[in-house]
């Protein structure tokens, strides 16, 4: 059986990596697209009331949910997502024995590092399934991700609080959780993460191109209706607004 005890959502063409990461984190199909859209709408309404213009950057078709949306969703589980750089939790975060889970964003893709019993797993929705890493690999990967966070090329959030006990936890306690696939070297570990984010980037490019075409068509229509208006060059932020509008319509 082995890793079959671990709940794992695989991402296909839905681009909802944020949703899959949260469900893999809590080990059940807990967070739906409707819940995400509702949390996003609530956060953006609060931001507007405070005069904060965020340009629709809390959620997008790519599943690139903001940390504010993720925190709002995980509150119902009594867990908090704390930035890895927070000195209060940094020492604990580097401890493979006492830490339970981490939520990571790399190249606009969310995935999870999760421990069941003594075993650490990478739960990446773009992988074929859970991938086991040793404690030594876990430490080296966290160190590498910490460096990437300093360079603003990754975000790491330590999961603080009691995650609900799941089937994989019980299997680990019973001594029947046997990892079926284990990373054996740093090159393989990097390949798993980089290949996943590259695949996600291809999908992001496709969505971005569709959004850009829609935005350009809208700009041409506006320009035809007002000859005196200057030609518009849409920024990435404006394109992102279109993407979140699409996301809202899809729900």
Domain ranges of the chain: 2-202
Q: Residues 23, 124, 132, 158: which is the catalytic one?
A: 124
203: pLDDT strictly greater than 80: no
pLDDT digits 0-9 by tens, 80-92: 998 877 666 566 6
pLDDT digits 0-9 by tens, 215-243: 566 556 555 554 544 444 444 445 445 44
156: pLDDT strictly greater than 70: yes
pLDDT of residue 247: 43
Q: Residues 24, 105, 109, 132: which is the catalytic one?
A: 109
Catalytic residue status for 17: yes
pLDDT of residue 185: 63
pLDDT of residue 85: 73
Q: Residues 17, 20, 23, 40: which is the catalytic one?
A: 17
Distances (CA, A) of 20 to 98, 103, 205, 245: 24, 11, 20, 21
CATH number of 2-202: 3.90.70.40
pLDDT of residue 224: 56
HEC profile of the chain: CHHHHCCCCCCCCCCCHHHHHHHHHHCCCCCCHHHHHHHHHHHHHHHHHCCCCCCCCCCCCCCCCCHHHHHHHHHHHCCEEEECCCHHHHHHHCCCCCCCEEEEEECCEEEEEEEECCEEEEECCCCCCCEEECHHHHHHHHHHHHHHHHCCCEEEEEEECCCCCCHHHHHHHCCCCCCCCECCCHHHHHHHHHHHHHHHHHHHHHHHHHHHHHHHHHHHHHHHHCCCCCCCCCCHHHHHHHHHHHHHHHC
pLDDT of residue 99: 86
Cα separation of 194 and 100, whole Å?
Answer: 23
Catalytic residue status for 124: yes
pLDDT of residue 91: 62
102: pLDDT strictly greater than 90: yes
- pTM of this prediction exceeds 0.85: no
Mean predicted confidence (pLDDT) in 202-219: 55
Bigger pLDDT: 151 vs 112: 112
Taking all residues of the chain, what is their mean pLDDT, rounded to a whole number?
75
CA 239, 245, 247, 249 dihedral sign is: negative
Catalytic residue status for 94: no
pLDDT digits 0-9 by tens, 50-81: 666 655 555 555 556 788 889 989 988 889 99
CA dihedral 131, 135, 140, 141 (to 10 degrees): 30
Cα separation of 248 and 251, whole Å?
Answer: 6
Q: Give φ, ψ of 121 to 5 degrees.
A: -130, 145
pLDDT band with cut points at 50, 70 and 90 for residue 8: very high
């Amino acid at each position: 059986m082995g890793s079959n005890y671990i709940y794992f959502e695989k991402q296909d063409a839905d681009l909802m990596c944020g949703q899959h990461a949260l469900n893999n984190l809590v080990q059940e199909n807990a967070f739906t697209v409707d819940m995400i859209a509702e949390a996003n709408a609530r956060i953006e309404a609060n931001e507007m009331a405070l005069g904060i213009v965020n340009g629709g950057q809390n959620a997008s078709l790519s599943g690139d949910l903001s940390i504010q949306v993720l925190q709002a969703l995980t509150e119902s589980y009594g867990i908090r997502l704390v930035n890895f750089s927070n000195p209060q939790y940094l020492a604990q975060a580097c401890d493979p024995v006492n830490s339970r889970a981490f939520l990571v964003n790399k190249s606009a893709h969310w995935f999870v590092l999760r421990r069941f019993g003594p075993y650490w797993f990478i739960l990446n929705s773009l992988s074929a399934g859970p991938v086991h890493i040793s404690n030594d690999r876990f430490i080296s990967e966290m160190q590498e991700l910490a460096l990437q966070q300093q360079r603003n090329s990754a975000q790491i959030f330590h999961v603080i609080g009691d995650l609900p006990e799941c089937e994989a936890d019980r299997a680990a306690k019973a001594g029947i959780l046997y990892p079926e696939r284990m990373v054996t070297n740093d090159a393989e570990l990097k390949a798993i993460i980089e290949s996943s984010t590259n695949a996600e980037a291809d999908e992001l490019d496709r969505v971005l191109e569709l959004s850009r075409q829609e935005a350009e068509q809208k700009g041409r229509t506006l320009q035809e209706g007002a000859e005196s208006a200057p030609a518009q060059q849409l920024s990435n932020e404006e394109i992102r607004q279109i993407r979140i509008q699409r996301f809202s319509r899809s729900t």
